[in-house]
Chain A
Amino acid sequence: SQKIEQNSEALNIQEGKTATLTCNYTNYSPAYLQWYRQDPGRGPVFLLLIRENEKEKRKERLKVTFDTTLKQSLFHITASQPADSATYLCALDMRGNTPLVFGKGTRLSVIA
């Protein structure tokens, strides 16, 4: 069956450390993978998009990797801050511009 698994429901880290979130998928072959941030009671906000032929993408303190052999994406936030506390969702786009298939998300808490 098709599955998207994000490493844990909740992740607690100390301020200043690097947070690493995992997204694994089974029986999908996405052309693109996206990461979103969602705060309580609000809609998801786009963070990064990475293509299947890209290994890594960076934006400020954020870094995403995409390994199509392992069927895995890693999402890193360096020098984490309490303001980074939110739920982070990974989403698969199978062919480009197709409806996104979301994981359940990981709730990150950055503790001062």
Chain B
Amino acid sequence: DTGVSQDPRHKITKRGQNVTFRCDPISEHNRLYWYRQTLGQGPEFLTYFQNEAQLEKSRLLSDRFSAERPKGSFSTLEIQRTEQGDSAMYLCASSLVRTGGAEAFFGQGTRLTVV
């Protein structure tokens, strides 16, 4: 399977713990995005990378969230000191920048439950 891969698919954690998620994009894609989605809402942008450079972070993203894409390939999203409000589906998407806009390819997501 050569699509976007996310790991783990599900994560249950206690409030205050740190969690880290991984995303492996489609190999030739240079853009990688992280979104968060809660029930009944559309995906909400968190941050994105072009190759290894982080180009933008949402103003909604607190300092407890950090993302990396160390060699321009896979990416990790870490949430420190998790709160119940962090419970959501975390989606990763990748795309290939080109003239005329580009569709995003999404992974299956990591569902986080903070108890």
Contact = CB atoms under 8 A, between A and B. Distances in A.
Interface string B91-105: 101010111111111
Contacts of A46: 103-105
Interface residues of A, number: 25
Interface string A79-112: 0000000000101010011011111110000000
Contacts, number: 64
Interface in A29-80: 31-32, 34, 41-46, 49, 51
A31 B101 CA distance: 9
A58 to B, nearest CB: 16
A54 to B, nearest CB: 11
B108 A43 contact: yes
Contact of A97 (B41, B56, B98, B108): B98
A34 B44 contact: no
A46 B31 CA distance: 16
B4 to A, nearest CB: 8
A23 B112 CA distance: 29
A47 to B, nearest CB: 9
Interface of A: 4, 9, 31-32, 34, 41-46, 49, 51, 89, 91, 93, 96-97, 99-105
14 contacts: A9-B40, A31-B101, A34-B103, A41-B108, A44-B106, A51-B101, A96-B99, A96-B100, A96-B101, A99-B33, A101-B45, A102-B44, A103-B42, A104-B40
Interface of B: 4, 31, 33, 35, 40-45, 48, 56, 91, 93, 95, 97-109, 111
Given A96-B100, A100-B43, 14 more contacts: A9-B40, A32-B101, A34-B101, A44-B106, A51-B100, A91-B42, A96-B101, A96-B102, A97-B95, A97-B98, A100-B33, A103-B42, A104-B41, A105-B42
